[in-house]
Amino acid sequence: MILRNLLRHFPRIHPRYLARVLALGSIGIVSGCVTSTIDQMVFNEPQEGIGNSTVVILGRRHASDYDTEPDFVECVGDHISSGDNSIEVIGELEFINEFYPWFEPRTAPLQVADLERMMTNQPVVAEKLAALRTQYMVWIDGSTVQTDSGGSMTCAIGPGGGGCFGFGTWSNDANYEATIWDFSESAEVGRISSTATGQSYMPAVVIPIPIIAPVQGTACDGIGDQLLQFLSSRY
């Protein structure tokens, strides 16, 4: 993972050189600074959690210029499960495969009314949702993008060893919105937005030292915390 991130920001470095240099010494990974903001608007919040009902978390992928990352959707689900292990979160891939083709990007409902129409026209969808005891569906829309980068780094390796020299920096912005649908109310019952921005650095004097700003992870924690407050009786 570290090697892949470094190569993305410093594409001119040959992967073999950088991998061997990284292997020559232990690398301490330091976290950079992240600024984040959370906004929420929820109503009809369950008073005692969701009981034995289940929740499914899905990513929006209908936009032409970005897709919500599957690992971000998984991160939010893991955050909820680790915060309250009594909540059963259905995995995104498992759900999409079970309901194929109704939740593929080109056929997935964009509004609650679209889902109601789908359940009426395709009774098997309603039957499967009932079998899974799904009460809440959370749609996550957004992405994390690199907004700026600068600096340079060179690496070399020889019989006596190797190293990298230089300095690099890059910025990342994360913007996500989670929309909560309640099947029992046939309505949208909440929206949670999370934004985060951070600057990462890579000084290198022989050994590169990544100072990574956990932008996407911070946005995940923000949405996960708010969803836990909505879904769990423990918060």
pLDDT digits (tens, 9 = 90+) for 33-85: 899 999 988 877 776 789 899 999 999 998 888 999 999 999 999 999 999 99
Could you tell me the pLDDT band of residue 11, with boundaries at 50, 70 and 90?
A: low
Tokens 């911070």 correspond to what residue?
218
16 pLDDT more than 80? no
pLDDT of residue 179: 97
- Which has the closest alpha carbon to 41: 138, 143, 178? 178
User: For residue 10, is pLDDT > 70?
Assistant: no
103: pLDDT strictly greater than 90: yes
CA–CA separation, 219 and 48 (whole Å): 26
As a whole number of angstroms, the distance between CA 68 and CA 63 comes to: 9
CATH class of 43-147+171-194+215-231: alpha beta
Q: pLDDT category, 95, cuts 50, 70, 90?
A: very high
pTM of the model: 0.82
CB-based contacts of 136, cutoff 8 Å, min separation 6 = 50, 53, 55, 56, 180, 181, 182, 183, 231
Nearest residue to 76 (alpha-carbon basis) of 134, 129, 138: 138
Confidence of residue 215 (pLDDT cuts 50, 70, 90): very high
